[in-house]
Structure 1
Amino acid sequence: MATVITKFFDYGDEEVDYLRIVDGILGAAMVRMGKIERVIIPDLFSALVHAIVGQLISAKAAQTIWNRMQLTFGEVTPHNLAERSADDIQSCGVTMKKAVCIHNIAGMIADGDFNLDELHDLPDAEVIQRLTALNGIGKWTAEMLLLNAMERQDVVSWGDIAIRRGMMKLYGLHSITKEQFEVYRRTYSPYGSIASIYLWVISFE
């Protein structure tokens, strides 16, 4: 089985100290938890497929499907997946809608109709705009690529239920509005991604 190369999200004392200063409650949780190592996938295509697989399912289910895809297809590359049918991709456990989305995007990249590498040179908002123009890619999926592949520093996704749950647990809230969420997101900026890394873990504590 060809394993997709991963690394840890790169952050250090500067980001942690900033968040501790601007948000004492989050800061106390960060001190208690110590440094959290967030595994990311630097290869943009692999990371995009991983994000599509993870849409609206649990992290555990997504990991099972992801492992099966690597076992079935070897390297998760545009050419490899473009050569397979949507049925082949679906057989790994994804919905047909996701399988068609992955197959179509793989074909576009393999044919040179979409250049993922160009995204590295674009600001976050434009990366989201480019990606959400693709069929089957919503804002959450684009934000996950920004954080979990491109290591962009300031991503806090309203569309991520675990991040919202983490906020609610951290601040003792029974529910959270978009307005409340935005206040926290702005507080964390420009290091929202590091806050997200902790909020994900807090949501499962």
Structure 2
Amino acid sequence: MTWLMLDHPAWDLDAGAPVRALRTPEGAWRLTGSLNRTATLIRGDGPAPVVDSYDPAVLLDERLPDGLAAALRRLGRVERVRNPDLWEALVTGIVRQVIRAGQARKMHRAFRAAAGDAVGATWLVPTPEQTLALSVEDFAALGMAFKRRPLQAAAAAHLDHHAEWAQLAPDALVKALQSVPRIGPWTAGAAVADFSGDFSLYPYADLAVRTWAALADPSNAWPTDEPGFAARWRRLAGPHLSVLTVLTLAWGDHHAHADQGSTHH
């Protein structure tokens, strides 16, 4: 079975079906997911967004704990829509800072609905220009007063540097984004993983990965500290750090309740 990963807070629901709008260099695309969670690209301008596929079969040669290996095999192949818009990936990373995933999803939707362009039954994230045009009062009305400065700093930086950033390799982009005020390693890594599809760049020792690994394999003695977990995760993953990380996040996405989540820094 193949599962569509719906972890991204830009996924909304329309009559019970997942829907999402994505901005591409040529325009916008509308996506929907069916009941068995496969992605359908409905319509859009220019080339379609990339749908990455992650297969647990590539992990068979790695020495994963039995419980985690079994959980990921049962999950099966995972598809995830790669974000073609670095700006949206930055917005998402900033919105997810410090708050739980359920709250971040609600805030992300409210921000898009208030200031973004509608695409069918959902909305694009506000552009950098739209974000800079919002007032202190606008952010306060959305319950996002503490997100105003990082979002507007990122918007200004994106307008100044997006052409330069577009030329960078993903690992170099992670470093470049951290020159923006209020964007640290977690936000930069999460944004570039979303943008590139390479989850070896994701902050793989964060609370989300640690939580889902422990729940998928509760009999295993997982390190609870980030450095210890990161070192063990790298050893377990071998050359497949991206696949192991994204499949573990997908396992959590598949099994979590709507109000569950984790805190990010």
User: Which of 71, 74, 96 pairs up with 2:113?
Assistant: 71
Distance 1:145 1:63, change over 3 A: same
Task: Tell me the alpha carbon deviations over residues 91-143 of structure 1, each in whole angstroms, 9 at most, x when there is no partner.
Answer: 3222x332111012212333xx222x533443343222211111111111111
Contact 2:90 2:187 in 1 (8 A): yes
Inter-CA distance 103–139: structure 2 relative to 1 (3 Å threshold) = same
TM-score of the superposed pair, with normalisation by structure 2: 0.64
Distance 1:189 1:9 in 2: 24
- Among 14, 18, 22, the alignment partner of 2:58 is 18
Structure 2 residue 104 is matched with structure 1 residue 58: no
Q: Which of 184, 196, 201 does residue 245 from structure 2 map onto?
A: 196
* Residue 134 of structure 1: aligned partner: 180
Correspondence 1:85 to 2:135: yes
Tell me, yes or no, if the aligned pair for 1:132 and 1:142 is still in contact at 8 Å: yes
Provide the C-alpha distance between the structure 1 equivalents of 2:165 and 2:193, rounded to a whole number of angstroms. Answer: 13
8 Å contact from structure 1 (residues 128, 143) kept in 2: yes
CA distance in 1, matches of 2:73, 2:133: 48
Gap change, CA 1:93 and 1:10, over 3 Å in 2: same
Residues 153 and 190 in structure 1, CA contact (< 8 A), matched pair in contact too: no
Q: Is the 8 A contact 1:8 1:37 kept in 2?
A: no
The alpha carbon displacement at 1:81 in A equals 0.9
- CA deviations on 1:150-180 (whole Å, 9 max, x unpaired) are 2125234245211111233336226434134
Superposition CA RMSD, Å: 2.6
Larger fraction in strand: 2
Taking a change above 3 Å as real, the CA distance of residues 153 and 107 of structure 1, as seen in their structure-2 partners, is: closer
Q: 2:234 aligns with which of 179, 182, 185?
A: 185
Shift of 1:200: 2.1
Q: How far, CA to CA, are the matches of 1:118 and 1:191 in structure 2?
A: 29
Residue of structure 2 equivalent to 1:167: 213
Q: 1:10 is paired with a residue of what secondary structure?
A: strand
- Paired residue secondary structure (1:149): helix
> Is 29-38 or 127-136 further displaced after alignment?
29-38
The 3 A distance-change label for structure 1 pair 156 and 103 is closer
CA distance in 1, matches of 2:133, 2:191: 24
Residue 131 (structure 2) pairs with residue 114 (structure 1)? no
State the aligned residue count: 197
TM-score of the superposition, structure 1-length normalised?
Answer: 0.80
Instruction: Provide the rounded CA distance (Å) in 2 between the counterparts of 1:142 and 1:189.
Output: 23
In 2, the alpha carbon distance for the partners of 1:89 and 1:191 equals 40
Q: Bigger CA drift: 136-145 or 119-128?
A: 119-128
Q: Look up the match of 2:224.
A: 176
- Equivalent AA in structure 2 for residue 145 of structure 1: A
Check whether the contact 2:62–2:236 (CA below 8 A) recurs between aligned residues. yes
* Separation of aligned partners in 1, 2:213 and 2:148: 32
Paired with 1:197 and 1:78, the residues of 2 have a C-alpha distance of: 28
Q: Provide the C-alpha distance between the structure 2 equivalents of 1:9 and 1:193, rounded to a whole number of angstroms.
A: 15
| 1:123 equivalent among 169, 178, 182 | 169
Residue identity matched to 2:139: I
The answer as to whether partners of 1:120 and 1:150 remain within 8 angstroms in 2 is no
Q: Secondary structure at the match of 1:163?
A: helix
Residue 203 of structure 2 corresponds to which residue in structure 1? 157
Report percent identity of matched pairs.
24
Deviation at 1:33, TM superposition (A): 1.1
